[in-house]
Amino acid sequence: MELIKSETYNNLAKAFAGETMARTRYEFIEYGARKEGYKTLAEIIDTVAYQEFNHARMLYTFLQKAKEGKIDNVDICSGYPFKQKWDLTDNLLFASEDEASEANDIYPKFAQIAEAEGFNEIGLLFKQLAGVEESHRALFMQLHEHLKNGTLYERNCDVVWKCADCGYEAKSHAPWEICPLCKAKKGAVLIDLCTC
Ligand SMILES: [Fe+2]
Ligand SMILES: [Fe+2]
């Protein structure tokens, strides 16, 4: 089967649209985190946004292989989430839900279709993307729970907290409000994601 005539071709376009939207939604979250002074949280979100960009890039590359010349248009009919408003804690939960649907539903289905149509390389891409989206789901849920419970900077064991601005570090259950060395606010402390 020719890729351009397959359902997989359309699924690549749908997934590309989904990844590019996810990237933008995460930049909304990053923007909100920075506005609220969560500098290092914003950087974690920024890393995920960049990963979504790379997912989009890989999908786009496969899409381009379907045709020699330029692809003027791909008609897709698909639904996408528009849940997020401007509450940081809620937005992290919504991001986690959206990642779950990519990881458990959308990409496994796309992988199955790609393999059935004989596009094993694309099937593998969808499977590998599903694995990454599952790790994004877990990360967003962990961050959501921390914000909801006020435990972003509280652990049950001693961990090393480090100021991203100056590198000062100290071992404790919780970090400083103001960095003893450079006076940066707590939002500049690197977030420890251990589960103790
Ligand atoms: Fe992604
Ligand atoms: Fe993701």
pLDDT reported for residue 52: 98
- Spell out, as residue ranges, where the chain has pLDDT lower than 50: none
Do 155 and 195 touch, CB atoms closer than 8 A? Answer: no
Cα–Cα distance, 168 to 182 (Å, whole number): 8
Helix residue spans in the chain (DSSP H)? 7-35, 39-64, 88-101, 107-116, 120-149
CATH assignment at residue 39: 1.20.1260.10
For 132-161, what is each residue's pLDDT tens digit? Answer: 999 999 999 999 999 999 999 999 999 999
The tokens describing 190, both together, are 């690197």
Same domain, 86 and 168: no
Is the alpha carbon torsion for 178, 27, 60, 70 positive or negative? negative
Ligand 2 centre to CA of 71 (Å) is 26
Range of the domain at 171: 153-196
Ligand 1 centre to CA of 146 (Å) is 23
Same domain, 46 and 131: yes
Same domain, 166 and 141: no
User: Which residue from 55, 47, 58, 62 is spatially nearest to 20, judged by alpha carbons?
Assistant: 55
- 70 Cβ partners below 8 Å, 6+ apart? none
Ligand 2 centre to CA of 140 (Å) is 9
**CB neighbour burial string for 73-82, b if at least 16 within 10 angstroms, e if fewer:** eeeeeeeeee
Q: Domain count of the chain?
A: 2
pLDDT reported for residue 143: 98
Same domain, 164 and 118: no
Ligand nearest to the Cα of 96, by number: 2
pLDDT reported for residue 195: 83
Same domain, 40 and 84: yes
